[in-house]
Amino acid sequence: MAVYRPPEGRPVSPHLPFGERRDGAWYGKSIISVKQFSRDDLEYAFGVAKEMREMVARVGSFDLLKGKVLANLFYEASTRTASSFVAAMARLGGSTIQIHEVHYSSVSKGESLPDTIRTLECYADCIVLRHPQVGAAAQAVEVASKPILNAGDGIGEHPTQALLDLFTIESELGQIDGKTITMLGDLRFGRTVHSLSRLLAQYDVKLRYVAPDILQMPRDIVDELASLGVEQVPHDRLDDVLPETDVLYVTRVQKERFEDPADYENVRGAYVVDGETMLAAKEHMVVMHPLPRVGEIATEVDADPRAAYFRQMENGMYVRMALLAMVLGKA
């Protein structure tokens, strides 16, 4: 079976059981939901991502996936997810078919998602899919014989983002257990917090949800996490939880998901993290954001060493390199 192995000449990290336990476990698999990842899987993926980070720093790119082709199929806007997958593939020696603007593809002629997937898998070894409908990636898996990577299905999930978010928390704070994570902003429509909260449920964490009532975390997710014993408390004021917060995960109010623009106008700008917020925060708190930001974090925060959102997006490439290596392997 084709498996990921560190490039020749590199000592195998003592933390990475290459050639043992999990080698090949993800080969040929689709990634649709964070629910597919056990804590062991996460540790394995993060180990590979660290190797990727080191290798990019040392050699820039290498031929692990030489000859492999990725199709990047985006029915919704993207900067980071789309370009980090392209960069990840390029740094692993593979190439990408980019369908970033489906309006210029046969989708504009009325082609269905299943037919578009069937087409692209004739040319590519793996398809990254972003789509406005919840469940679109799962629907694609039904017709695909190649791995599908869910890059966001409407307000559903964004598993690769959640993995890079968790990787960032661990990189910034050294560990995830014992931390209080505060999610701020649009927890109702924000798919990144839906996936991240589910992943965090595998750790010993406290979750705080700060949002206006209409943008609170969906009931089904709260119930799911409660049944796993996760401590979750909703708030509407950031001040109430800031002093205990280790990770402040800020999100954009998802304008495109509102049916009534007036509702959006009522809640936009509800929270702004600025220099004053940072004065009241823990010395080692980490500020994260999946980006794009549209005013939720003042630019004056960027120079604060606790602002991790630019490091977070860089991590996205290493984590996506790891996922591609795990799914596409190397013969």
Indicate the residue among 147 and 152 with the shorter CB distance to ligand ASP: 152
Quick one: CA dihedral 172, 173, 176, 182, positive or negative? Answer: negative
Residues in the chain, how many? 331
CB of 151 to ligand ASP, least distance (A): 8
Cβ-based neighbour number of residue 264 at 10 Å: 16
- Cβ atoms of 149 and 326 closer than 8 Å: no
CB of 189 to ligand ASP, least distance (A): 9
Among 94, 147, 290, 329, binds ligand ASP (CB under 6 A): 290
191 part of the interface to ligand ASP, by CB under 6 A? yes
Q: How many residues bind ligand ASP (CB under 6 A)?
A: 6
- Cβ atoms of 186 and 173 closer than 8 Å: no
Indicate the residue among 192 and 245 with the shorter CB distance to ligand ASP: 192
139 part of the interface to ligand ASP, by CB under 6 A? no
CB of 183 to ligand ASP, least distance (A): 13
Residue with tokens 């596409």: 328
152 part of the interface to ligand ASP, by CB under 6 A? yes
In the structure encoding, which two tokens stand for residue 239, read together?
Answer: 């001040």
Indicate the residue among 147 and 290 with the shorter CB distance to ligand ASP: 290
156 part of the interface to ligand ASP, by CB under 6 A? no
First and final CA of the chain: distance in angstroms? Answer: 7
CB of 284 to ligand ASP, least distance (A): 25
158 part of the interface to ligand ASP, by CB under 6 A? yes
In the structure encoding, which two tokens stand for residue 304, read together?
Answer: 């604060």
C-alpha–C-alpha distance, residues 192 and 289, integer Å: 10
C-alpha–C-alpha distance, residues 86 and 78, integer Å: 12
Footprint on residues 44-103 left by ligand ASP (CB under 6 A): none
Cβ-based neighbour number of residue 204 at 10 Å: 13
b/e string for 125-137 if b means 16 or more Cβ within 10 A?
Answer: bbbbbbbeeeebb
Indicate the residue among 143 and 298 with the shorter CB distance to ligand ASP: 298
CB of 255 to ligand ASP, least distance (A): 9
Tell me which amino acid residue 4 is: Y
CB of 295 to ligand ASP, least distance (A): 12
Among 33, 192, 195, 202, binds ligand ASP (CB under 6 A): 192
Indicate the residue among 55 and 181 with the shorter CB distance to ligand ASP: 181
Among 194, 252, 320, 330, binds ligand ASP (CB under 6 A): 252
Give the residue among 228, 224, 234, 231 at the shortest CA–CA distance from 183: 234
CB of 25 to ligand ASP, least distance (A): 27
Indicate the residue among 55 and 253 with the shorter CB distance to ligand ASP: 253
159 part of the interface to ligand ASP, by CB under 6 A? no
Indicate the residue among 116 and 192 with the shorter CB distance to ligand ASP: 192
In the structure encoding, which two tokens stand for residue 125, read together?
Answer: 């070894």
HSE value, Cβ hemisphere, 13 Å, CA-based, for 155? 16
How many Å is the Cα radius of gyration of the chain? 20
Applying CB under 6 A, the residues found at the interface with ligand ASP are 152, 158, 191-192, 252, 290
